[in-house]
Amino acid sequence: MLNDDAPMPGSWRTSLAGAGMEWRPAAEGDIEAWAALIARTAEAEKPVWFERAADLEQILQSKKNHPAANTLLVLDLGAVPRAYARITKNMDGDRAYGFGCVDPGWQRRGIGTALLEWLSERTVRRFAEDSPAGGGGAVPRLRIHMEQQHEHQQQLLRKAGFRVVRYYNEMHRHLDGVPLPEVRLDDGLALVTMRPELSEGVRQAHNAAFRDHWGSEPRDEESWGFTMNDPQARPDLSAVVLDRASGIVAGYQLASHDPDSAVSRGYSEGYTDLLGVRREYRGRGIAQALLADAMRRFAAAGMDRASLDVDSENPTGALALYEKMGYAAVNRSLAWDKEFPVPG
């Protein structure tokens, strides 16, 4: 939710000072006001998803993306947050991810451009910090995801030299008034509800399933813990397929539900955050069984739609599978990348 129509010259510090702003890292005492800033921006921008206070609490708990170095909170002279930016990066990852927004009443002042400059500068420094002895020659890369509907934000990225590298489809499947698919697994497999003791096995299965996917990085224990403890996570709507003989996690469907989205979107949805099948178990109908099970769980919980996102160029043919299961694309988002010179 970066916004800007009036870029200002000079560094991000000069730009923010010229706009009458102060800045510092985000801290625990900022959560309520920070969440209010994001909510105001979301009310104007209408994104599919946005961070809430519980999400911000998790962000501030990160050890590998410590907020003191990886967040920027921009305040007016009354100390009210009017913009923010943050990055995340895995220690050995080949990209950093950028996030941020500008209060609707404070746009067109060069603040969005300043945030993008800070994200770029922080990305270069983060790559240097994460490389052995501050070097290693890795090309710093910043990735920002943007919904296609937010054209003004995309203009800002284009002006800054970012390019589109991938497209993603948000897909919905209606649950009310239509028959739901029935898919049976073979006798060697068992479908069970997600429970805490399966978490590590599911993490390992996820890393194995997505090792050949574009843009995917292994989930470490911290990032996986954030996934499992997400305030909107719904283990009761999630399921795991186990190999009966070995107990290995063959596939999984991890779901979430945002009760507040029903107000803004006009319908209630169960969302499949992660769906994966280990390579050696593909071709046995596991993904279909997990999706069919998810639909029934969502419907039994009173939800109107099943939702998920998919990489439009997913190498496993996931898009075709989802369409066969009755999902249809309703929205598209884009991944924008920019590479920076390695500091000499």
244-261 pLDDT per residue, tens: 999 999 999 999 999 988
Residue 41 sits at φ, ψ, to 5 deg, of -65, -40
What is the arithmetic mean of pLDDT over 311-329?
A: 85
153 occurs within a structural domain: yes
For residues 144 and 195, state if they share a domain.
Answer: no
340 occurs within a structural domain: no
For residues 316 and 227, state if they share a domain.
Answer: yes
For residues 186 and 313, state if they share a domain.
Answer: yes
- pLDDT score recorded for residue 131: 82
For residues 112 and 204, state if they share a domain.
Answer: no
pLDDT band per the 50, 70, 90 thresholds, residue 92 = confident
Q: What is the tens place of the pLDDT at every residue in 167-203?
A: 999 999 999 988 999 999 999 999 999 999 999 999 9
Which of 198-212, 223-237, 260-274 has the weakest average pLDDT?
260-274
For residues 175 and 323, state if they share a domain.
Answer: yes
265 occurs within a structural domain: yes
The tokens describing 126, both together, are: 């983060």
337 occurs within a structural domain: no
Q: Is the pLDDT of residue 242 over 80?
A: yes
> Is the CB of residue 121 less than 8 Å from the CB of residue 128?
no
Q: Is the pLDDT of residue 5 over 50?
A: no
In 219-324, which ranges are E strands? 239-243, 249-256, 269-277, 305-311
For residues 146 and 285, state if they share a domain.
Answer: no
Higher local confidence (pLDDT), 131 or 240: 240
Q: How many structural domains are present in the chain?
A: 2
- pLDDT score recorded for residue 316: 62
For residues 152 and 176, state if they share a domain.
Answer: no
- pLDDT score recorded for residue 6: 39
- pLDDT score recorded for residue 10: 56
- Which of the listed residues 142, 161, 180 is the one where a domain comes to its end? 161
End-to-end CA distance of the chain: 33
What is the arithmetic mean of pLDDT over 38-45?
A: 95
For residues 211 and 323, state if they share a domain.
Answer: yes
Global confidence as pTM: 0.90
Which of 28-42, 98-112, 120-134, 265-279 has the weakest average pLDDT?
120-134
CATH number (domain holding residue 278): 3.40.630.30
- pLDDT score recorded for residue 315: 57
Q: Is the pLDDT of residue 56 over 60?
A: yes
343 occurs within a structural domain: no
Closest CA to 236 of 203, 268, 283, 196: 196
Report, in this order, helix, strand and coil percent for the chain, each rounded to 5: 35, 25, 35
- Which of the listed residues 113, 138, 161 is the one where a domain comes to its end? 161
- pLDDT score recorded for residue 68: 97
- pLDDT score recorded for residue 192: 98
341 occurs within a structural domain: no
What is the arithmetic mean of pLDDT over 154-158?
A: 94
Average pLDDT, the chain: 92
222 occurs within a structural domain: yes
- By CB atoms closer than 10 A (0-12, 13-18, 19+), residue 140 is buried
- Which of the listed residues 138, 161, 184 is the one where a domain comes to its end? 161
What is the arithmetic mean of pLDDT over 155-176?
A: 95
The four Cα atoms 12, 16, 17, 22 give a dihedral, to 10 degrees, of -120
Collapsed DSSP state (helix, strand, coil) of residue 83: strand
344 occurs within a structural domain: no
For residues 204 and 299, state if they share a domain.
Answer: yes
Stretch (H or E) spanning 43 = helix 31-45
Higher local confidence (pLDDT), 262 or 28: 28
For residues 215 and 262, state if they share a domain.
Answer: yes
For residues 130 and 179, state if they share a domain.
Answer: no
For residues 179 and 291, state if they share a domain.
Answer: yes
- pLDDT score recorded for residue 344: 66
Q: Which domain holds residue 52?
A: 12-161
